[in-house]
Structure 1
Amino acid sequence: MVNKAIFKSYLGKLLPGTDATNHEGAPAYPLSARETLAQYAVTGTFNGTFYANGAEQLDAVKALALQVEPEFLAKVAIHAAEKGYMKDMPVMLLAMLSSLQSEAFARAFPRVVKSGKMLRGFVQVMRSGATGRKSLGTRPKKAVQAWLERASVEQILRAMVGNDPSLADVIRMVHPKPSSQERKALYAWAIGKPYDHAALPDLVKSLEAFRRDQRAPVPDVPFQLLTSLPLTREHWVAIARKGGWQMVRQNLNTFARNGVFEVDGFAETLAARLSDPEEIRRAKVFPYQLMMAWRMVDSQVPDVVRQALQEAMDIAIANVPAIEGNVVLCPDVSGSMSSSVTGYRKGSTSSVRCIDVAGLMTAAFLQRNPKARVLPFENDVVRIDLNRRDSVMTNAGKLAAIGGGGTNCSAPLRKLVNEKAKVDLVVFISDNESWVDARRGGQPTAVMTEWARIKRINPAAKLVCLDIQPYATSQATTRDDVLNIGGFSDAVYAVIAAFAANRTGAEAWVESIEAIEL
């Protein structure tokens, strides 16, 4: 008789053996170069994560960029900027692309660099030498010059907030050729050189007038250009009224300290803006940013504003799919998930942890799929009682409060198998660094073994492994019924929904990037 312990199969297919190890040294499956680059692009921030530091991430991205075509590299940069809402990674990929002989750089640049912050980030990467050179070079210099000439006066003023490099540094570096007397005066004013005041744009004239005399109307400029002045409560009300949606969200405590909510009716005005669906969509806000804003507003911020943040959350997660059938959500609540979701960097480490994001995504799925089961796991499945009628904020907080223990990704699957549960879709939200259930190298992972057992009961079941950290391995190999995907923006939901509904295959994530037109 054949030794069944050795010749394990499922529906005529041998389970694949592992040929890589994760950061815990446990056997795992490597992602393809395209999958890995996409994974880094939507989760990597070049800060230190639980398992890898920023330099290691940089080295990995540089190596991966050389393994794919320039056109795919450009598409990944665009996807990371437009769908992943990332900042550092897209400009790093652009910098890599600028050294390759391809027209893809010129086509991708305007779609990635849409703000002064992204422009300064790109120049910073180029000057750092991280991509092998410390000067811009002809093509990047022309791209920066073109951005400056296309930019509106408002964009130029927003770009003046921030340093290393400052916008003035960028202008001095690329020597843009002004197309008008107004633009010539604007550049000279920005770098502190003599300029023709009469030729300045009206908005800059109003800023200069306000700097001279605070009795003048408050200009519609970034408030950081005004904070060195003696601002009154009335000034702050005007600033809040004119500020963009993200700026208002980020500065609620500042507004409270400066008395804006003491003005009759103004709290209601700001609350209406914060919960405006169109403004929320335009802001491209991460749902976890809303969760943290809600947690961190102090007692001086009125309840109506706090409630508006919860309403904004409901709008921000409105495209979480409602999926037919039996859905199981498996958030990782192990010790490694306590690390900052955007990594550690001195002076700017986010207080948002991976477990916060996993809890929020799980709670959002649960709200849209009220029949879904939630099986948090660490060493084993953790019991938790979630009230489906509670808000996303409340349920996310309950999940994030668990924390600790090792990582055993196969635990929820084993529980489902032992129950002979009916399953249509299982979604893991994890860093995929499973080690408690590790086996010898070359053997199938425990996740794939348990998944095969589930498939005997549920042949049509599908598995999604959503990774929220920039690592290059998975506990489940990509195939027809297994989707590996990365990221923590709302862009992942559409891919998961299409996969669950059989509209796309396991390569859906990479294919969605390849479909971008340059």
Structure 2
Amino acid sequence: MVNTQLFQTLRGTLMPTANALNEAGGAAFLPSPKHQLAQLAATGCLNNTFYTKAESQLDTVLSLASEVDPVFVAKTAVYARRAGHMKDMPALLAASLAQRDVGLLTQVFGRVIDNGKMLRNFVQMLRSGAVGRKSLGTRPKKLVQQWLLSATEAQLLNASVGTTPSLADVVKMVHPKPAEAWRAAWFAWLIGRPYDTAALPPLTQSFERYKRDRAAEVPDVPFQMLTALDLDTQAWARIAERGSWQMVRQNLNTFARHGVLALPGVADAVAAKLRDPQAVAKARVLPYQLMAAYTAAGPEVPTVVKEALQDAMELALANVPQFAGRVVVCPDVSGSMGSPVTGYRKGATTAVRCIDVAALVAAAVLRKNADARVLPFETKVVSLQLNPRDSVMTNASKLAAIGGGGTACSAPLALLNQEKARADLVVLVSDNESWADTARGRSTATMQEWAQFKSRNPAARLVCIDIQPCATTQAQERADVLNIGGFSDEVFTLLALYAAGGLGADHWVGVIEETAI
């Protein structure tokens, strides 16, 4: 008699076979090389994470970049920078194009290498030899020269902050030939060569003047250039007043420590800047960065400033959609989600964890969809009551406080199946390293539970959001399953498009394919 455990009669869509193991050793699906590259570009940080070493990420990205066509690499670099607000990955993809297709690099350079930090990243990655060359080469060198010769004084000053390489190193490397007297004097000033003081541009002149005389006006230069000087509270107040939105957000505790926020009117001015809609949009702030600033704000930071961060969060999440039908959002709160979202980097590890980002996504969806159901999970669903009227920060903090346990991405689906529940959209937010659930066959437990759920909810859709660098997924991409990666507000844009049926068969990869170069 035939073994009916091996040859069961299947109902519904044919169950896909898992074709890979994830980093935790669990059964998983390995998407197409294009999808893998897109996933890594949107989440990869080139740092050590809970499961992945930085070197492994680098090798994987470079291997995928050489496997897919260079046009897709260029589009992914633009997408990861412009929509995903990533830094290291777009620079790495641009550097890989310098080796593979310098013509394409020329086309996308300005949209990927869009500030001095990105320029220095690009140069360092090329000269390291990691992408197959240890020199810039003629065309990349000209692109770097063009950036230096077209940047404003303010852009050059901002680019001069940082090392490995420093902007001075870059200038010495590419030897730009400026036509303007001010630029020639500025480059000489930067690299420590003789220069005509009178020819220096205004901001740099004011900086040199302030170094000689503290009674002079505090110059409007990057504050890192000033912190080595002996500054009083009023000087710090001028820095706070003039600082960029991101700079102010990152230095609230510093300003409080120097007594700036206790000065009359300053806290209100800082709060007004932080909650300004245009400033928030221009800053391209990641929602999790606001959460980081809010949780890190010490007791000396006034309440009005902390409330402004919450207002800024609401603005940053303006494109969180309101969905039609019943919504279930499932944040992963397992032990591995306690790792830093952008990985471990000596001296620069973020305090924001993967669980914070997952909680933030769930709380944001709940904020716009008051009847949404939130099912935090590890090996099982964790019971937690949330008030949809509470702020995103409040609910995200409650979710992030759970933490611990193994990972079973199928757990919330299994609970929904036990309850014979109905829903139109299910959103899983995880690092996808599921290992504690047991599949009954050759597919993943997540896909098996989803198949059962679909038998009761034929029009339902599943979205799996990956917030850590990982090439594998728990649910195979198909018409009713979308796998996306990242932690910018672009995730919500794609979520809305997909839920409304606005993404085609290629889903997320299709969005990147449509990126203009």
Q: Distance in 2 between matches of 1:430 and 1:265?
A: 43
Cα deviation per residue 1:38-96 (whole Å; 9 max; x = unaligned)?
Answer: 11101111111111100000000010001111111011111111111111111111111
- Structure 1 unaligned residues grouped into runs of 5+: none
The answer to which of 499-508 and 346-355 deviates more is 499-508
Alignment of 1:387-406 (within 5 A): 387-406=387-406
Task: Give the deviation of 1:128 after TM superposition.
Answer: 1.3
Alignment of 1:312-391 (within 5 A): 312-391=312-391
Cα deviation per residue 1:432-479 (whole Å; 9 max; x = unaligned)?
Answer: 111111337x71111111111111111000000000011111111000
Q: Distance in 1 between matches of 2:150 and 2:437?
A: 55
| Residues 41 and 434 of structure 1, relative CA distance in 2, 3 Å threshold | same
Q: Distance in 1 between matches of 2:484 and 2:256?
A: 40
SS in 2 for 1:426: strand
Q: Distance in 1 between matches of 2:428 and 2:504?
A: 18
Task: Give the deviation of 1:127 after TM superposition.
Answer: 1.6
Q: Distance in 1 between matches of 2:65 and 2:11?
A: 36
Equivalent residues of 1:92, 1:125 under 8 A apart: yes
Equivalent residues of 1:478, 1:506 under 8 A apart: no
Task: Give the deviation of 1:508 after TM superposition.
Answer: 2.3
Structure 2 residue identity aligned to 1:292? A
Cα deviation per residue 1:312-343 (whole Å; 9 max; x = unaligned)?
Answer: 11111111111110000011111111111101
Cα deviation per residue 1:149-196 (whole Å; 9 max; x = unaligned)?
Answer: 111000000011111111100000000010211211111111110011
Q: Distance in 2 between matches of 1:47 and 1:401?
A: 25
Structure 2 counterpart of 1:58? 58
Structure 2 counterpart of 1:252? 252
Q: Distance in 2 between matches of 1:303 and 1:417?
A: 45
Q: Distance in 2 between matches of 1:261 and 1:402?
A: 33
Task: Give the deviation of 1:429 after TM superposition.
Answer: 0.1
Q: Distance in 2 between matches of 1:396 and 1:371?
A: 17
Q: Distance in 2 between matches of 1:26 and 1:311?
A: 41
Cα deviation per residue 1:385-407 (whole Å; 9 max; x = unaligned)?
Answer: 11222111111111111111111
Q: Distance in 2 between matches of 1:479 and 1:4?
A: 28
Equivalent residues of 1:275, 1:311 under 8 A apart: yes
SS in 1 for 2:465: strand
Structure 2 residue identity aligned to 1:126? L
Structure 2 counterpart of 1:179? 179
TM-score by length of 1: 0.97
Structure 2 counterpart of 1:424? 424
The reply on whether 1:476 has 2:491 as its aligned counterpart is no
Structure 2 residue identity aligned to 1:29? F
Alignment of 1:129-148 (within 5 A): 129-148=129-148
Structure 1 residue identity aligned to 2:360? L
Structure 1 counterpart of 2:10? 9
Q: Distance in 2 between matches of 1:464 and 1:2?
A: 37
Structure 2 counterpart of 1:189? 189
Structure 2 counterpart of 1:450? 449
The answer to which of 102-111 and 145-154 deviates more is 102-111
Task: Give the deviation of 1:422 after TM superposition.
Answer: 1.3
Structure 2 counterpart of 1:489? 488
Equivalent residues of 1:484, 1:506 under 8 A apart: no
TM-score by length of 2: 0.98
Alignment of 1:117-136 (within 5 A): 117-136=117-136
Q: Distance in 2 between matches of 1:464 and 1:190?
A: 50
Equivalent residues of 1:379, 1:406 under 8 A apart: yes
Equivalent residues of 1:120, 1:167 under 8 A apart: yes
Q: Distance in 1 between matches of 2:361 and 2:245?
A: 23
Structure 2 residue identity aligned to 1:383? S
Structure 1 counterpart of 2:288? 288
Q: Distance in 2 between matches of 1:275 and 1:512?
A: 31
Structure 1 counterpart of 2:169? 169
Q: Distance in 1 between matches of 2:463 and 2:3?
A: 32
Runs of 4+ in 1 over 4 A off after TM superposition: 1-5
Structure 1 counterpart of 2:275? 275
Q: Distance in 2 between matches of 1:341 and 1:479?
A: 27
Percentage of pairs with the same residue:
57
Q: Distance in 1 between matches of 2:392 and 2:17?
A: 39
| Residues 8 and 492 of structure 1, relative CA distance in 2, 3 Å threshold | farther
Structure 2 residue identity aligned to 1:81? R
Equivalent residues of 2:504, 2:510 under 8 A apart: no
Q: Distance in 1 between matches of 2:502 and 2:77?
A: 25
Task: Give the deviation of 1:268 after TM superposition.
Answer: 0.5
Task: Give the deviation of 1:265 after TM superposition.
Answer: 1.1
| Residues 337 and 112 of structure 1, relative CA distance in 2, 3 Å threshold | same
Equivalent residues of 1:268, 1:305 under 8 A apart: yes
Equivalent residues of 1:380, 1:412 under 8 A apart: yes
Give the total of aligned pairs.
516
Task: Give the deviation of 1:144 after TM superposition.
Answer: 0.4
| Residues 41 and 382 of structure 1, relative CA distance in 2, 3 Å threshold | same
